[in-house]
Structure 1
Amino acid sequence: MPLNFKSFLILFSSFFILMSCNEKKRSEPVQVVEQKPEIDTGDYHENYLREISFIKTRSDSASTEGMIKLEGGNYMMGGTSSQARPDEFPRHKENIRQIWVDETEVTNAQFKEFVDETGYVTTAERSFEIKGKKYEAGALVFDPYNPEWWWKFVKGANWKNPTGPESTIKGKDTYPVVQVSWYDAMAYAKWAGKRLPTEAEYEYFNRAGNDTLIYHWGNEFEKAPEMVNFFQGNFPKQNSVKDKFERKASVKSFPPNPFGLYETSGNVWEWCLDTYYPDAYSKIDKRTDGYFKDFVNMQQQKVIRGGSFLCSESYCTGYRNSARMSSAPDTGLEHTGFRCVKDI
C-alpha cells in the first residue's frame, strides 16, 4: 500500500482548474491553502504500481467477450479544427497495432465484480496520514454554484457513492464507474488481463477510420445531441439537456461509432496509459513501447481522453476526436472513468 496516499487533498489548485475543462486558467480564489507536505512522490508512485502488480489476474482473462477486434493501421493524429489547442499539434503519423477494445466504458457492475473478487480498496476509499495529520477518505465532486472552486472535496465520495455518502449506484449497474483514479483503473486492468489504451490508440479508435473529422460522427455539431452525452446551454449552471441526460448516461445510450464502440466521446473522461506532456507530439521519439511512461512527481499527470457530460461546445469541446486533457493519477472525479484494451 502506498505510504503517501492521496496528496491531492491538500487542495492543489492546479488540477482543480484543469479538470473544470477550462481552456484558460481562472483567477485564484482568496483561500488559505495548507503548505504542501514534503513527500517522496517517486516512492509513492512505485509503491502503488508494486501493489497493483500483486493483484491476481482473473481465471477467465483470455476472454474477449464485450470487446471489438480492431485491425489497426496508420492514421494522422492531432488537431483538425479551429478549436484545437496547442497541445494537439503538430499532426503526425501514428501506427496502431491490432488490438481488442472494450465496447463500452467499464461499468459499475464490472468494477464491483473486480472489487468483490480481489478486495481492492480504491484511492478515494482510503484515509491516510502525513506528518501525524490524518486525512479522511473522499473524492472530488462538481459544484456549479461555487464561484471560487467548481470542484470540491467531499468526504465519503467514492465509486459506490459518486457525489457523497448520500448518493448511490443502486440500480445503475450499466453506468460507467467513476471516482476511480488512474491507479484504480490500472488495478482493474491487471485483474482483467487487459491494459489501459495508449493516447494514440484512443484517438485511433475514437476516430474510427477517418482522421479528418472533428467529431466521431462527422463535422456537423448540430448532430451532437443525438450522438454524444455533453453539456448544452450556458455552462456550468444552465443545461438545456437536449441530449436527454443531465449527468452520466448508461453505456450504449448513444449510437456506436463506425468501429462499433460506444461513448468514446462524451459521458465520462477515460484514463490512458500515457503521462501527459503539453508538447508530446514534438517528442514522440522519446516514448517507450509506444507511450510516455515517465513519472516525475505528483504534478506529472496522466492523459484522459473523450470528454464528459460536463464538456460544452462553448467552453471545452473535450469530445472532439483530438482533444486532450490530464489529471493527477491519484485523483477521483465524478466525470472520469475508463475502458480497457487487450493486445493480440
Structure 2
Amino acid sequence: MAKWDNMLSMLWMLRSGRKLTAAQIADSLEISVRTVYRYIDALCASGVPVVAEAGHDGGVRILDSFKETPLFFNAMELKALVDAYKFAQGAGYPYAEELESALKKVENGLHEEQRHDLFRQTNGLDVISPARPPSVVPLLRELEQAAQEGYTVRIAYRKEKAEQADEREVDPYGLAYDRNEWYMAAFCHQAHAIRTFRVDRIERLELTEAKFVKPDHFSASAYFRVQSERNRESEEPPIVIQIEGEPDALNALCSHWHLRHYVMERTDRDVRFLLDAATMNKYLPMYLITFGTSIRIREPQELKHTIKEMAYRIARNCEEDDSA
C-alpha cells in the first residue's frame, strides 16, 4: 500500500476514538513500528493533533478537537492540479478564478519544502492562451446557468463576415470547447432545430422567463460528433486511409476540424483514417497535396493515383507558363 493510503488508513483508525499502540497500528497496516512514528510526524506536520502517550495505559490518539480530514497529495498529483489550472485558464474556463482559489487552499496546507518542490515541478510548463474578448467568461457563466436551470435566452448573434448581429431566442443545451473556441449547442426558435453558436460571436444575451426541457442524456460533444458524421458525402461503407509522414504533418492532419473525427489509429510514423470514398475523393486530394513531401499516401491506391494526377497537371501547367 502507498504511503499516502497508509497514512489515511492510520488516520481513520485513530478517528474511531480508540487509543492504539504503535505496535497495533503497525500490525494492522503490515508496516514497521518505525514507519508508524514517521507517519505520526507527517500527520502532525499536516495539522493533525496526534498525541503519543507513554506508559502502561499509553498509546496513540487524536485530540477530540480535531474535526477535519486533511488531503494528502504526492508531488506528481500536486503538479497535475497546478498544470490543470494552467490549461483551464488558457482555455478561458469560466470558473478559473474559483479553481485558482481552491488551488491556493491546497497550497496553504503544504509546508515550505513541499511548496518549493511544487514550484520546481511546475515551473517548466506554460500554456499560451489565445486572445479572447473579455465578455466570453461572463457569457459562459450565464449560458451554463441557463442550461442547468432550463431558461430560454435571447441573444444578438453575429455570424462570420456578417455586418451586423441578428436577434434570436435559443434554448442552451450545453457548452463545448473545440479548436480553441467555446461553442454552444442550442435549440434555435428561429430555425426550429438544434444549431451551434460560437460564444465569442454573441454580442448580447438576455435571460427570458420562458422555460424549456433539455432532451434526455443530451451531450454537446456527442452532438458535434454526430454533425461531423452527417457531413459525409455518401452512406457507402468507409475505407481505410493510411498516411505516413513527419510528426508535425501528422499532427496537423489529426487536428483538422473534420478529419480528427475519423482517426482510427495513430503512431509516431503514420495515421489511419476511416472515411467514405466520396468524401475522400472530394476533399482530401486538394488538402493533402498542400503537405508536399512531408507525407506519403500508403493506401488506398485510388487516392494515391488521384494525387499523382493532380501533381502531374500542376507540373505541366508550370512548364507551359515557362515556355510561354
Using the size of structure 2 for normalisation, the TM-score is 0.18
The TM-score normalised by the length of structure 1 is 0.17
Bigger Rg over Cα: 2
Q: More strand per residue: 1 or 2?
A: 2
**Which of the two has greater helix per residue?**
2
**Bigger relative contact order, structure 1 or 2, given CA contacts below 8 A and separation 6+?**
1
